[in-house]
Amino acid sequence: MKTSVTDYFQEYKKVCEQAVISEDVFNSFRSNGRYRRVVDHLDRQWGYSYIRMINNLLVADDICYEDFMAKFTFNDEVGRPCMFDYSPFGQWSPTTLRYIYTAFMLRKQFGELHNSTILEIGGGYGGQAAILMTQFNVKKYGIFDLNEVVGLISKYLNVHNFKQAVTYNQDQFIEMESIESDLVISDFAFSELSGISQDLYFEKVIRHSKRGYMTLNFFSDKYHIKPWGMELYKDKFAEATIDINIRPLINAANTGGKNCVITWDITNEDC
């Protein structure tokens, strides 16, 4: 039984497994075409879009671009990602720029997240986690993903010595009780789960988080996994007495045309 859109991309999962046991595969997985069908598929133009938005945010906050960005260059040093020259802003992979932009938006939305527990539903290779653990001195960072994927996430984060990170595969998730957090995030992954899986994550993870930042798309129904529609999102959060903010996701990767972001913060009634 398929639990997510990713279950339709078996070659992607094979690359993840191979990257754990083969250094040759690990050293180039981010440029592997089979891997990039699911993760790391943004093109050069999206990179321009994200770097412009990042620079505008930094200028608005009077933050030096070079000083702020320098601490994130490590994220493109492993896996041989597809990188482009964004002069005068340097060479970057578009995916890393997206992760940096997300980190900035989280800071803008929720303030500094130091000493917090962050949970991520769908972790890619661990890049977003690495960026956030660099930006914020978090206490714990938990990542939920497929059995075939968590090994790669762990390997990538171990290379960079992120000790706060812990991964949970599908089997571990099914067995666990509810887990509390200061923030739960998901970059499309939650919206690409089956409705049954979404119900489980909502009951075990989402409703127990003080804050949330989740980007959503609505193309997954064509894969016959019956994900939630927008009205069901509204109903679920209302039943859990969580007030959410829903807004269009500007300059998001084009994954379906109806992308949006939902946020909540039960510690701040104005959020």
pLDDT in tens, 78-102: 999 999 999 999 999 999 999 999 9
pLDDT at 270 over 70: no
The 3-state DSSP composition of the chain as helix, strand, coil percent (nearest 5) reads 45, 15, 40
Report which secondary-structure segment, H or E, holds 118: strand 117-121
CA dist., res. 105 & res. 42, Å (int): 19
Instruction: Please state the pTM of the whole predicted model.
Output: 0.94
Please tell me whether residue 24 adopts helix, strand or coil conformation. helix
Query: Tokens representing 115?
Result: 């000493």
Report which secondary-structure segment, H or E, holds 211: strand 211-216
Q: What percentage of the chain exceeds 70 in pLDDT?
A: 95
Nearest to 243, CA basis, from 269, 223, 261, 220: 269
Give per-residue pLDDT as tens, 104-148.
999 999 999 999 999 999 999 999 999 999 999 999 999 999 999
Most confident of 16-25, 212-221, 244-253: 16-25
Sign of the Cα pseudo-torsion (205, 124, 127, 86, in order):
negative
Instruction: Tell me which fold the domain 5-265 belongs to.
Output: Rossmann fold (3.40.50)
Q: How confident is the model at residue 252 (pLDDT cuts 50, 70, 90)?
A: very low
Stretch 190-218: mean pLDDT: 96
Q: Assess contact for 34 and 12: CB atoms under 8 A.
A: yes
| CA Rg value for the chain | 18
Q: Assess contact for 145 and 169: CB atoms under 8 A.
A: yes
Hey, how many other C-beta atoms are within 10 angstroms of the C-beta on 269? 7
